Amino acid sequence: MGIASADATADCAKERAMRYLARLGYIALGGALVVAGQLLPNMLMVAAAQTEGKPSAEFDTLTVRSLNVLDEQGKVAVRLAATLRPNEAHESDVVQVLNAEGVPVLRLGVDADGGLLTVAGNDGGARGMMGVDAKLDGGGVVVYGNDGKTRAAMTVIEGGGLVGVLGNDGKPRAAMEVVEGGGVVGVLGNDEKQRAWMGVAEEGGAVGVYGNDGKPRAWMGVGEEGGWVTVYGNDEKQRAGMSVDEDGGTLGVVGNDGKPRAAMGVDEEDGWVTVFDGNAQARAMMSARTDIGGLVSVLDNDGTPRAAMTVIEGGGVVSVFGNDERQRTVVSASPTGGSIEVLAGGKTVCAVKADKDGDGTVEVGNRQGATRSVLAVDESGNGVIAVVGEGNAYRSVVTTDSEQNGKVVTYNALGVRTGSLPSVSPNRK
């Protein structure tokens, strides 16, 4: 998967990361603490034991508006009655357990959606509630602080369970829920803006990190071929990406305008690096080829190559190109020597060469690539200047002999010697 597709997957994961925020608003539940269900039978058994030895009666049916169970001091410890809760017309208590001061600390009742269990402090304020919410898909539990603000909530949503944790200010700090693809965990700052997200994206797990402004700074996840990482700037534009595609790894760096500036990766078995200009046009490329070695290319504004440096068997080559993408100058080195060639229309018009023995040659040709003059060194180490005609036949040759005497020989079009100048010793006056 390339950088662009990794970014698209990150956007999908970010959308899922925000869903749980809306869902927290639906948590309006009753009751907390299942252990409260064990307290009521125990207290009733205590109240019954206190009547031992006193007159008792047995009834098939007892119908009363309220029933109080007293403690040893004669105070009401348990009250069974349809008691409407203050300021909450839709909720009522059926069973209340009171403390020594007569404050209900455990209430079992009903509301418009079903059963409701409340555990309260000695001040009567709710500390935990467990109940049913018709707007959701099942039951829920809410835990409160001494200030009456929610600190934690657990409920059922469409995809499964949801757990939320809130700060002392009543604002959410973290949530864990179930979505279509799996689980999700989100962490928020004091300003309720998201700081981190971990969950399930289309191809696997995903992790996101956010700045204080709630905007994403980095994402990491799983793509079709493997993992990916994306880094963003403060403007939410991508700055760097790393991913895995079918050939191997890919790494890209992006400018402030969202356009690529550099990339590196693997092409089949070989590595490559590309540098781009502000218009996302490649300007320089470097790659490694298993068959030959390294390759470096420089390109102009429209992507046309202007220079290239590569490796050949036993040496290297540097080429300079014209506007027609044809070579203009070639510098090469091989086990047999080095050369510099100047070309026109794809034909060599000038070449400077050196063989493995250190002898040099200069050749000048026409636009058709035919050699017309040669400056060289012969086997004896003497200098040679030759003028060449059609058919590569010599027309004239200037050379020196072993005694350093100069000689000029001319030939006709058939290559037959037509004349020569006598040797002239450089010491002859």
**How deeply is 309 buried, as exposed, middle or buried, from its count of CB atoms within 10 A (0-12, 13-18, 19+)?**
middle
The answer to whether the beta carbons of residues 18 and 194 sit under 8 Å apart is yes
Q: Please state the separation of Cα 347 from the chain's center in Å.
A: 49
Amino acid present at 165: V
Run of H or E residues at 250: strand 249-254
pLDDT at 293: 78
Strands 76-84 and 66-70: antiparallel
Taking the whole predicted model, whether its pTM rises above 0.85 is answered as: no
DSSP state of 2: -
What is the Cα–Cα distance from 33 to 21, expressed in whole angstroms?
25
What is the Cα–Cα distance from 85 to 116, expressed in whole angstroms?
12
Give buried/exposed letters for 27-40 (b at 16+ CB in 10 A, else e). bbbbbbbeebeeee
258: which residues sit within 8 A by CB, 6+ positions away?
237, 238
pLDDT at 212: 93
The residues of the chain scoring below 50 in pLDDT are 1-6, 8-10, 12-14, 16-51, 426-429
The answer to whether the beta carbons of residues 192 and 200 sit under 8 Å apart is no
pLDDT at 45: 45
Phi-psi region of 9 (alpha: psi -120 to 50; beta: other; left: phi over 0): alpha
**Minimal CA–CA distance to 256: which of 285, 276, 270, 236?**
236
For the chain, first and last CA: distance in Å? 83
